Structure 1
Amino acid sequence: MQFPIKTVLYAAVASLVLIGAAQAQRTDIRIGVVLEPPALDPTAGAAEAIDIVVYQNIFEGLTRVDETGAVQPGLATDWTISEDGLTYTFNLAEGVTFHDGTPFSAEDVVFTFERILADDSVNAQKALYAPIESVTAIDAATVEIVLERPSGMFLFDIGRGDAVIVSPATADTNATDPVGTGPFRFVQWNRGSRIQLARYEEYWGELPALTEASYHFIGDTAAGINALLAEEVDGFNNFASESIALFEADPRFKVLVGTTEGEIIMATNNRQPPFDDLRVRQALAHAIDRQALIDGVSNGFGVPIGSHFAPHHPYYVDLTGTYPHDLEAARALLAEAGFPDGFSTAMKLPPVNYARLGGQILASQFAEIGVTVELINVEWAQWLTDVLTNKDYDLSIVAHVEPFDIGIYADPDYYFGYDDADFQAIISELSTTTDDARRRELAVAAQTRLAEQAVNGFLYQLPQIGVWNAKVEGQWVDSPIEGVVLRDIRWVD
């Protein structure tokens, strides 16, 4: 049978179109995340889940932190620092607009920092920016920030999610309708399901390869496994370690194991009995078997810590031997403190695996020294209210993911209730010292003081275990700061 020449040509063209469509590179990404953020303004909330979605995607700061933890230019293309370390002059990128089309200028920087420092500010890291004495717009593209005292972490701190630049026109609604200057704009938030972003085509910098991104809230591990296997999501930046072997054996996926800034601690209410007694805190420290905890919770992934500091940091010192696992020493300390038969307490646990499973393991370990622990599971909103805000708790388990945040222990009003003049003096000097050698000495002294005082149960460093479609590249392996940064993520053959 013969076919007309036009029919043959049309068929050939159609086949080529179908082949091209089949081979077209994807430009969307669907990311699974365990926690839904309570809001989307990182300058007005403490939850890591906020930065996971918005940091360096929707919002940008004057500087930004890269995957290695180094400070890079952001909305400020460059800067100069005065000889006394007090005056920073930033040159701003030109042609920048917010996602609503409003031009970005130095006045937005002034507004942002005045808002952070205001008396009614709810910024979770407001104390980091306390050294700022003034912020002045020299002209539309130049900002001068003057500090009251030198700050060795200033350029890093203004690159955190807490200091992203916001517009006066939209600051009050960023919690639900975020408007930034980043490479992605907010599209939609389906509560309980997902958040959708789209590439901002008028972005002032290099456009990312992705045109769409969505964050899907999947808190249940089994549901997350099913979503990955069914290819309903393209990856999780941090996934339950107990299921990793399944994905390591499947060529459709790749597993990326890195580090985070997440110190997992057994938070302890130092302001109330019996935990206001150092001997009780020391007893609990002796009762903790960190390696058993790591093996039981995360299949051996994680580095034991003896103080509130990341093991990969150059200032880190290993203090895990301060109170080694020693049940006899623990019982003796409890008896000395007036609890020869132990006591009963409660532990409030947020809805994450390391806390819920970790609580069960710690309760079992404490039972060996006569301490009975009631485990109380709470949702994040209740944890933030009860524990973080109202300090209504005995014990808890949580990961503190903010980088270089040891200074939180210098605030006696923080939820730990730790009030120690010696530690406060160390942090006071550390915060104003720029000499690296002296900063290291002070950081070691701070770590040592916390360890000796057994302020909290210092457990282990939270690993980042990413499970991704094998064709996705450009995602961060390590997490030196909170966020799933989209700018370099792309699909490859």
Structure 2
Amino acid sequence: MNCKNTLLSGAVLLCLAAPAFAADTDVKIVLNEELENVEPCMASQSNIGRVILQNISETMTELNVKNGDLMPRLATSWEDQGDGTWRFHLREGVKFSDGSDFTAEDVKHSIERTLSKDMTCEIGAKYFGGMTITPTIVDDHTIDIKSDPAQPILPLLMSTLTIVPKSTPMEFTREPVGTGPYVLANWDPGQSIELDRRDDYWGDEPAVTKATYLFRSDDAVRAAMVQTGEADIAPLISQTDATNPETDFSYPNSETTYLRLDTSIAPLDDVRVRKALNMAVDREAFLGTLIPDTAEVATHMTVPTTLGADEDLGVPPYDPDQAKKLIAEAKADGVPVDKEILMIGRRGNFPNVTEVMEALQQMFGDVGLNVKLQMVDVAEWVKYYSKPFAAEPEPSIVEAMHDNNRGDPVFSMYFKYACDGLQSGICNEELDQEIADATGTSGEGRGDAWRKVFRKVAELSPDVFLFHMVGYSRVSQRLDFTPTIATNSELQLSQIKFKN
């Protein structure tokens, strides 16, 4: 049709509409959880990271999850200077979305802010616990970063640190400024978030011009929204809804589902009660019913491919009779096993999470424990999951998923198990020392050192490990995008293309 010479009004309208449809490069992404904040130093929390990580806030380095290579991002290269110090050469010509230049001062400020005791930044607690990080500016685009104890994987650690401008205050922000290809255009808490593409981004221009994030807790609703065209991507849907091979993808999402026990309070301070909780769970009964049959029973906090994973470790077998005996033994020794234990679940954390938690409550009740279940939204859940624990002085169990797709336990073990770990429910001096030893070990001995830590954790039973999860996503057929192991914790808009 020659639109220039068309006089019929209907055809004119059709011609005018066609270019707008062809140029439709906005996307809508429907998420299972809302965001309680948009703070860059909290981007390691999956619901926050899916929106802002590498979209608004970038990191120094970036892990290629397809081949395990460490790639440049805001740092172009790096070299080991010895004595725990690495020198990073920074990309030149980069600007933040506020127009300021990116320099080594911003990296120094980002490190000091993320690790500051004045803020509780999850990235700092999760990835940099148990070590001291000292940045020293060499020049505008060169910075030395020293770790104590020395970290042989410091460049990999820098793939977790979000960079903010030096003007960012030492408090949580609602208006994140970053070097990434997008800016926060609008945030309507509880309803939607909008990101707009920047015109002055230092890298290649992404195909997506605008992204709108919507929040729907129901798995079937999210899947249906993509099917009907109301949304383009649902990063997390239930296996039962993943019925269309043209739009639905499964992927190992590096998440471990588990229950964190507060071992400082009776009756959870008794290892027999903790082992009884593990024996009370019929993990195999969940597989293929409430949990995808392609998931694996978890034996570690990290997935089986992680350095130091011990294939000989297992979880206690399902044995409710033995669980009852252990509880009876503890009771005979004066442990208050009848005391009510508060169990906190996170709504929308994964498909069928409420049903899974209800089944676990029943299993614990069947062996004689008094467990009260409470399902909460993520903003409330964090108060129970991170110190100081909101449940104290009540004994508590907290359901959680932990993501470690970087291959080394250092990204997990300190903040999950050290006495000062932000989300640790246990304090054991011997375990603390083993974590410190493994963190500072390099070369071939590093795997053995972490294996020793995993064995000590199994001995102490501070968790009820459940499953290494598998994720399911639904992607509109108009998009060229395939989910990966990273999709649960980040969703880079620059990786989305449009089919012709």
TM-score (norm 2): 0.88
Alignment-derived partner of residue 131 in structure 2: 131
1:193-232, aligned counterparts within 5 Å? 193-232=191-230
1:137 deviation in Å? 1.8
C-alpha distance in 1 between matches for 2:242 and 2:43: 31
1:32 deviation in Å? 0.8
- The reply to whether residue 157 of structure 1 matches residue 162 of structure 2 is no
Residues 164-192 of structure 1: CA deviation (Å, up to 9, x unaligned): 11012244686311110001111111222
Alignment-derived partner of residue 314 in structure 2: 321
Alignment-derived partner of residue 346 in structure 1: 342
1:265 deviation in Å? 0.7
1:86-105, aligned counterparts within 5 Å? 86-105=84-103
C-alpha distance in 1 between matches for 2:457 and 2:79: 36
Q: Name the stretch that deviates more: 31-40 or 473-482.
A: 473-482
Letter in 2 for 1:447: F
Q: Secondary structure at the match of 2:71?
A: strand
C-alpha distance in 2 between matches for 1:479 and 1:85: 32
1:37 deviation in Å? 1.1
Q: Name the stretch that deviates more: 438-447 or 43-52.
A: 43-52
1:96 deviation in Å? 0.4
Residue 11 and residue 363 in structure 1: after superposition, are their counterparts in 2 closer, same or farther (change >3 A)? same
Please tell me whether the aligned partners of residues 402 and 481 of structure 1 are also in contact (alpha carbons under 8 angstroms): no
Match of 1:290 among 279, 283, 295: 283
Q: Secondary structure at the match of 2:374?
A: strand
Please tell me whether the aligned partners of residues 305 and 318 of structure 1 are also in contact (alpha carbons under 8 angstroms): no
Alignment-derived partner of residue 408 in structure 2: none
1:364 deviation in Å? 2.2
1:51-130, aligned counterparts within 5 Å? 51-68=49-66, 69-82=68-81, 84=82, 86-127=84-125, 128-129=127-128
1:150 deviation in Å? 1.6
Percent pairwise identity: 24
C-alpha distance in 2 between matches for 1:85 and 1:243: 53
Alignment-derived partner of residue 255 in structure 2: 262
Residues 77-100 of structure 1: CA deviation (Å, up to 9, x unaligned): 111112x35221111111100001
Q: Secondary structure at the match of 1:321?
A: coil
Please tell me whether the aligned partners of residues 63 and 75 of structure 1 are also in contact (alpha carbons under 8 angstroms): yes
Alignment-derived partner of residue 420 in structure 1: 428
C-alpha distance in 2 between matches for 1:222 and 1:58: 29
1:8 deviation in Å? 9.4
Residues 357-413 of structure 1: CA deviation (Å, up to 9, x unaligned): 221111222233222322112222222223423321521211122553122244224
Residue 105 and residue 321 in structure 1: after superposition, are their counterparts in 2 closer, same or farther (change >3 A)? closer
Residue 467 and residue 89 in structure 1: after superposition, are their counterparts in 2 closer, same or farther (change >3 A)? same
Alignment-derived partner of residue 449 in structure 1: 456
Letter in 2 for 1:216: L
Matched residue pairs, number? 479
Alignment-derived partner of residue 38 in structure 1: 36
Letter in 2 for 1:394: S
- The reply to whether residue 240 of structure 1 matches residue 238 of structure 2 is yes
- The reply to whether residue 401 of structure 1 matches residue 397 of structure 2 is no
- The reply to whether residue 434 of structure 1 matches residue 445 of structure 2 is no
Please tell me whether the aligned partners of residues 464 and 477 of structure 1 are also in contact (alpha carbons under 8 angstroms): no
**How well do the aligned residues superpose, as a CA RMSD in angstroms?**
2.8
C-alpha distance in 1 between matches for 2:4 and 2:316: 81
Alignment-derived partner of residue 466 in structure 2: 459
- The reply to whether residue 272 of structure 1 matches residue 272 of structure 2 is no
Please tell me whether the aligned partners of residues 260 and 397 of structure 2 are also in contact (alpha carbons under 8 angstroms): yes
Letter in 2 for 1:101: G
Q: Secondary structure at the match of 1:214?
A: strand
1:33 deviation in Å? 0.6
C-alpha distance in 2 between matches for 1:196 and 1:51: 15
TM-score (norm 1): 0.89
C-alpha distance in 2 between matches for 1:342 and 1:410: 24
C-alpha distance in 1 between matches for 2:385 and 2:306: 28
Alignment-derived partner of residue 328 in structure 2: 335
1:176-195, aligned counterparts within 5 Å? 176-195=174-193
Alignment-derived partner of residue 49 in structure 1: 47
Residue 310 and residue 339 in structure 1: after superposition, are their counterparts in 2 closer, same or farther (change >3 A)? farther
Please tell me whether the aligned partners of residues 256 and 477 of structure 1 are also in contact (alpha carbons under 8 angstroms): no
Please tell me whether the aligned partners of residues 267 and 456 of structure 1 are also in contact (alpha carbons under 8 angstroms): yes
Alignment-derived partner of residue 3 in structure 1: none
Q: Secondary structure at the match of 1:377?
A: strand
C-alpha distance in 2 between matches for 1:268 and 1:45: 25
Letter in 2 for 1:473: D
Letter in 2 for 1:231: G
Residue 70 and residue 481 in structure 1: after superposition, are their counterparts in 2 closer, same or farther (change >3 A)? farther
Q: Secondary structure at the match of 2:163?
A: coil
